[in-house]
Amino acid sequence: MIDRLPALIAALWWGSLSTIGFLVVPMLFAHLATPAIAGNMAAKLFSAQTWLELVCGLLLLTLSRPRGMSKLHPWAQSALGGILAGMLLALLLEFAVAPRIVARDNLRLWHSLGTAFYIAQWLCAGWVLWRLTDKSNRHN
């Protein structure tokens, strides 16, 4: 069971990014009374997503090495870059990009950059999930 935990964590990470970014937030803008209300709610959801992503990344990093060993699991060797890149993108989005979007500072530029970062996070999470479910990476 414990050997499947990293894949479940990666699935949660990728699935939550997919659900929030490609389903929930567009529905907010389609169904809430004003774009301002939808934007405020979207900002809260994206912030929660950042923290979920960081927890998933930290759990994956924690599980990447067998207890008492110095060598990484095979899945971790192939997924480590995606985990770290996704976590870095999440932090940059939360602390560098999102405040500028909320302040409406050059909104077109920062919203475009935020969208690019979010899609890059989604691709990182997808890569990690792909690597974790690759049969050649399951065995030590």
Q: Show the domain range for 6.
A: 2-137
Q: How confident is the model at residue 137 (pLDDT cuts 50, 70, 90)?
A: low
**pLDDT of residue 140 exceeding 90:** no
Low-confidence winner among 43-57, 58-72, 78-92, 104-118 (lowest mean pLDDT): 58-72
Provide the domain count of the chain: 1
Region 5-23: what's the mean pLDDT? 97
Q: Which of 93, 100, 95, 97 is nearest to 122 (CA)?
A: 93
pLDDT at position 44 over 60: yes
Of 125 and 136, more confident: 125
Task: Reply yes or no on whether the pLDDT at 70 is more than 90.
Answer: no
Whether residue 6 contacts residue 63, with contact meaning beta carbons closer than 8 Å, is answered with yes
Cα separation values, 91 from 29, 94, 123, Å: 25, 5, 16
The pLDDT, as a whole number, for residue 135 is 76
For residue range 95-129, list pLDDT tens digits in order. 999 999 999 899 999 999 999 999 999 999 999 99
Q: What distance in Å separates the CA atoms of residue 20 and residue 111, rounded to the nearest whole number? A: 16
Does 56 have pLDDT greater than 50? yes
pLDDT value at position 68?
79
* Per-state percent for the chain, helix, strand, coil, to nearest 5: 85, 0, 15
What integer best gives the mean pLDDT of the chain?
A: 93
- DSSP state string for 76-118: HHHHHHHHHHHHHHHHHIIIIIHHHHHTTTTHHHHHHHHHHHH
